[in-house]
């Protein structure tokens, strides 16, 4: 983002697209500043990407949901390079992971493998959220929606957010859905993801996420100004 002024005019125009007026109207309704911190949640089974922003009282509010155009593989985590699986878990995106030069319109790297993935021997690289509605292991949006997702991240970074969380789930982790998938071989892993899902559902604030004894741990931030993943 620091080199933004050096981008060719065509790239600058692409990454500077404003959010739609209806999005600004909703943010005003919920007392949300344009440059406030964000977080994202992706749900494979529902094909939904959610964008949440922090309001002036510190609570995160769902601003908009987008259809995921394509994601690769089946329900379940990514294990190895070349398995064409879109990851599941908790990821951190910083400004240097944003890519205005993407051949898939616009993109950002989600940061797979994170610490949890590496501890479990999971491999892969260049796992993106991108446009162009095509996927070989990524989460792909249509270009219009990708431009808006990129704009949310752009504005949050300009507002001072150092990194934001992306929570990638196989489905909405409700008790009913967990029961429906009880026999799935990934159920134990999903029970752990549900702890992070429930934390956010209850608190409406991203948890502080760390890894201990080969599992995710979720806790409150002691510094309310900090919104990050310790991965």
Dump strand ranges (E) for 68-142. 70-71, 89-94, 98-99, 107-109, 128-130, 139-140
Distances in whole angstroms, Cα of residue 54 to Cα of each of 43, 61, 117, 165: 20, 6, 28, 13
| Residues that are catalytic | 130, 138
**What would the pLDDT profile of 165-209 be if each residue is shown by its tens digit?**
999 999 999 999 999 999 999 999 999 999 999 999 999 999 999
What whole-number distance in Å separates Cα of residue 41 and Cα of residue 43? 7
Q: What ranges in 160-186 are assigned the alpha helix state H? A: 175-180
Nearest Cα to Cα of residue 107 among 80, 77, 78, 137: 137
Per-residue pLDDT of the chain (231 residues; tens, 9 = 90+): 333 334 566 778 889 999 999 999 999 999 999 999 999 999 999 999 999 999 999 999 999 999 999 999 999 999 999 999 999 999 999 999 999 999 999 999 999 999 999 999 999 999 999 999 988 889 999 999 999 999 999 999 999 999 999 999 999 999 999 999 999 999 999 999 999 999 999 999 999 999 999 999 999 765 443 333 445
Dump strand ranges (E) for 44-180. 48-54, 60-67, 70-71, 89-94, 98-99, 107-109, 128-130, 139-140, 163-169
Q: Which helix (H) or strand (E) holds 216?
A: strand 215-219
What pTM, to 2 d.p., does this model score?
A: 0.91
**What would the pLDDT profile of 21-36 be if each residue is shown by its tens digit?**
999 999 999 999 999 9
- Tokens 């789930």: give the residue: 169
Distances in whole angstroms, Cα of residue 45 to Cα of each of 71, 179, 205, 218: 10, 15, 24, 24
């Amino acid at each position: 983002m620091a080199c933004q002024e050096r981008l060719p005019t065509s790239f600058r125009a692409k990454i500077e697209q404003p959010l739609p007026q209806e999005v600004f109207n909703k943010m005003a309704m919920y007392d949300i500043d344009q440059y406030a911190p964000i977080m994202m949640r992706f749900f494979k089974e529902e094909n939904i990407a959610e964008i949440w922003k922090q309001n002036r009282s510190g609570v995160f509010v769902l601003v908009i949901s987008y259809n995921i155009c394509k994601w690769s593989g089946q329900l379940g985590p990514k294990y190895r390079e070349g398995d064409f699986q879109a990851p599941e878990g908790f990821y951190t995106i910083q400004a240097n992971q944003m890519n205005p030069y993407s051949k898939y319109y616009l993109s950002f790297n989600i940061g797979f493998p994170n610490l949890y993935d590496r501890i479990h021997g999971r491999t892969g690289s260049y796992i993106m959220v991108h446009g162009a509605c095509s996927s070989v292991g990524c989460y792909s949006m249509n270009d219009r929606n990708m431009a808006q997702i990129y704009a949310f991240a752009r504005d949050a970074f300009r507002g001072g957010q150092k990194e934001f969380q992306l929570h990638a789930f196989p489905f909405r982790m409700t008790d009913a859905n967990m029961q429906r998938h009880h026999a799935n071989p990934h159920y134990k892993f999903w029970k752990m993801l549900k702890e992070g899902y429930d934390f956010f559902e209850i608190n409406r604030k991203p948890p502080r996420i760390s890894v201990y004894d080969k599992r995710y741990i979720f806790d409150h931030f002691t510094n309310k100004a900090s919104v990050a993943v310790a991965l």
